[in-house]
Structures are given as structure tokens and as C-alpha cells.
Amino acid sequence: MNIYKSLNEMVSYIENHLEDKIEYKELAAILGVNEYTMQTIFNLLTNISISDYIRKRRLSNAGTDLYQTDEKIIDIALKYQYENATSFSRAFEKFHEIKPSEVRKNPEKLKIYTKIVFDEQNKLENQDIPYSIIEQEELVLYGKGTKTTEQKISKVAPEFFKKISEKFYDRYGRHTPYGMTVYEDRFESDKLEYWVLYDVPMPGLKKYIIPKSKWLLFHISNQTAKDIQAVTNRVYEQFIPSCKYNLRPIPELEHYHNDVTDFLIPIED
């Protein structure tokens, strides 16, 4: 399967239905995955959520419609799936930095958000990313988290891990077995939390339950933050877009043991 060809088909579907309610299940069916996986792939490859992309394409077209036609603002609002003129005007002004009522006098201020086109000749190579599939019973873990963002986590995570690990090793003599990223909203926000977790309760730690699941396991031969980040980036950028596994919307895990790291991504049965 050429994932980029399928993504272009999905984008074409969106273009043909900008004036309709777009069901994510229809988009996911084009890629042959579930809705969560579809959103993850699109977000990883474009750095924009599918909902934000659809919103910007609609507002871009709405600006053209306002300038080129005599349609009323309310009619254009309803055409592009806004419930009323107020919510449409608010979104329109935020995007174009001009009120809808001012477009016909100042059309030069309109912005165009172009349709995404994927290069179908681009090849995703994942043959050299070895992995296995494991099934794991429910995990009851105990940990502590810190708030961060997608942009800062590569710096924040190792610093926080070191701080917590040293503190609890000095007090209780236990090495830290797990790290975890929890997203506030993976597709609409860059806010997240990085957690350091133990498999036994200890003072000051919160209980966190990871449900029973199957997992994709990617083995990293050390516990160096730089190498862990490099492998996870390759998994996100190359493996996930080109695989056919359906992802589950539960946190991914890093399992640290015997001087190695297992990077675990939950998948559906």
C-alpha cells in the first residue's frame, strides 16, 4: 500500500465534502485503519490535526465565497458547518484577521490555506525497524508527572527522569522501570505530561492503571535519552504511517530494564 496515495484520496474526499459534515470513520476507511490511527498518521506527517486542517480549508474557501458571490454571511456560515453567524465570524476573523463584513471592501487581506498534496513517490522505509508484538496484562503503576509540550519534552523528560530516579533510589533503593507520555489532546494541543513510574506503591506517587493490551515493542539497546528519542522519532515518522496496525488511545510506555529500553505502543487486537 502506498500510504501517500491513500492520504491524497482522503484529502480529495475532504475537498469534495467541505460543505458537508465530514465523518472521521469515512476518512479512516480510506486508509484502512481506525479513526485514532488515521488522526495520528495525519498529524505526524503534516504537523496539523485533521480537524484544524478541515477548519482552515473551510475558512479559506469561505473567504473566497464572500468576495466572489453575493451570499449572506449566515448562508456561508451554515454552508461550512457553522451553527450560527457569530461562531463563524469569530473563527473567520481569527483566521483571516478581518471581519466577514469587511471582505468585499478589503479582499486583499484574505488568506488562502492551500490543499495538502502528498508526494506519492516518497518512500517510507521500515524494513530495518525490528519490532515484536507482545500481550500484557493490566499494569498497576505508581508515579509522578510533570507538564510540558511537544517542543520541550526532549529536554524536560530526561531532566525530570533523572531528578525523580535519583530521589527515589537514594530513599528506597529502587531503579525506575517506566516512563510514559500522557497527552492532553493529541490532535488539538501540544500540551502533555511526562511521567516517571514504578511498579510498587511509594510515598508521594499517584496510582496509574494501564489496561490490558497488545503492544508493538521496539527494542533500544541502551537507556540514553538521545538514542531513545532517535528511535521513537523513526517509529513515529516511518513505521507508524506505513504499518497497518490500529493504535489504541492509551499512553505509550518506555520500559527500562537490564540497561536496555523497550518502547511500547498499544494496538488493538
Expressed as residue numbers, the domain containing 96 is 3-109
Which domain-ending residue is among 109, 140, 172? 109
Q: Phi and psi (nearest 5°) for 254?
A: -115, 125
Say which CATH number the domain at 150 has: 3.20.80.10
Q: What is the pTM of this model?
A: 0.85
- 81 lies in the same domain as 208: no
Domain count, the chain: 2
pLDDT by position in tens, the chain (length 269) = 578 899 999 999 999 999 999 999 999 999 999 999 999 999 988 989 999 999 999 999 999 999 999 999 999 999 999 999 999 999 999 999 999 999 988 888 899 999 999 988 776 554 567 899 999 999 999 999 999 998 899 899 999 999 999 999 998 888 899 999 999 888 888 899 999 999 999 899 999 999 999 999 999 999 998 899 889 888 988 888 888 799 999 999 999 999 999 999 999 98
The reply to whether 34 falls in a domain is yes
Which domain-ending residue is among 74, 109, 144? 109
